[in-house]
Amino acid sequence: MIPAEQDYSLREKKFVKTKVSLMQAFMSRLKTTRFANISIKEVCESVEVSEGTFYNYFPQKVDVVYYYKSLVSVKIAWEINRKKSELSPW
């Protein structure tokens, strides 16, 4: 069972919100900029956090991509599970 939103502390909510915001800003830049050329400083400025905060969440730049991949995998699994009853084995 997934806990209701009110079951999470303010600290936990803020942690997730910041991590997701950093990931979204990074992935947005990845659409137009090569991975190696993405500036962590610019990502942090757009989310209004320090570079130290970025590295608290993602020790290496590639960890942002891994986090994105894990969230997409969870979303796909959730959608499959939600639609399982509608799917035919054939």
Structure tokens at 19: 């991590």
User: Mean pLDDT throughout 69-75?
Assistant: 93
Give 67's pLDDT tier (boundaries 50, 70, 90): very high
Say if residue 87's pLDDT is above 70.
no
Q: To which CATH superfamily is domain 10-86 assigned?
A: Tetracycline Repressor, domain 2 (1.10.357.10)
CA-to-CA distance for 6 and 28, rounded, in angstroms?
30
For residue 67, the number of C-alpha atoms closer than 13 Å in the C-beta half-sphere is 17
The pLDDT value given to residue 1: 47
Sign of CA dihedral 59, 65, 66, 70: positive
